[in-house]
Structure 1
Amino acid sequence: RKPAYAGIDLKGLPNLQSANMSWDFIKRLRGATKMKIVIKGILTAEDAKLCVANGVDGLVVSNHGGRGEDSGRATIDILPEVVEAVRGKITVIVDSGFRRGTDIAKAMAMGANAVAVGRPYLWGLGAFGQPGVEKVLEILRTEFQVAMAQCGVRTVKEFTPAFVRRV
């Protein structure tokens, strides 16, 4: 059995985080594989529209933890315009700064299909290993479920931006 990436021509591209990455490469990649393609680091509605136009399956609204740019916008602030730009055509995931189940609830209400978390589970891993990760995920799930109950929604699809106050 061949690996999923067999047959993809990556010549001229040192890695998939290269500054030389272009939409032409994404088009070539789309033509070379049936795998899902998700682009991370989308920070504008314009780039979100380019993701749709270039046939990607999803995007991640991400500032990579805010480590690259001190004056950049928070992903939660960018999320609504990205969701509006893709109009449900592709999956929208958001990350960077999500620490609580209530943070996840806000992002889901604002239109994210999923929320990626990094540091919380790493804190659990560092403190208690696998049981720590499991506990962190349990806490996030419980906080999310409590937020849903407090908003009076039974499913994630019932969340709307009306549940989030923007300042």
Structure 2
Amino acid sequence: MGKKHFIIPIFVPHLGCPHDCIFCNQRRITGLSTNVRPEHIERIIEEYLSTIPDGSINIEVAFYGGSFTGIDMDIQRKLLSVPLKYKRNCKIDGIRLSTRPDYIDREILDLLREYEVDTIELGVQSLKDEVLNKNGRGHSSDQVYMAAESIKANGFNLGLQMMIGLVGDTRDGVIFTAKEFIKL
């Protein structure tokens, strides 16, 4: 039987994100400010670990709610150093983060490799450029394809986030995006 999967969420509301997409208000959604500190992360991890039963469970720490790779690199290092310590002590199995496709480059991927990030989730939402534009995403579908290929080519697991019902989207647009996600 496979391992059960458990994610410890760390919210960095709107941190690193320069855009105000029409569907996103992370401060209101999470009730948190962007002032996330390493000691806060450690406390969250400890609280979650105390509730997880021993056994065959795959545990990941995940950074959500902002564009992680858009955060100042020194701050990224400080934030990633906390789950890295738990990973190296075999208390967690993986580290994942969510970011924008236009915030992936060689320097970022090198940093994420150094801190043993396993999975990079791209907040894609749609692969129809007109939908991306109408929703204030600030990136193109071409940037999604380039980022996805770069992430996979550099040995990371790739996650893709999709939203249906966005302004300007259609049934055909949603199906197109879903089929493209499968290819990626």
TM-score, structure 1 normalization: 0.47
Of Structure 1 and Structure 2, which has the larger fraction of its residues in helix? Answer: 1
| Structure with greater Cα Rg | 1
Of Structure 1 and Structure 2, which has the larger fraction of its residues in strand? Answer: 2
The structure showing larger relative contact order (alpha-carbon pairs under 8 Å, at least 6 residues apart) is 2
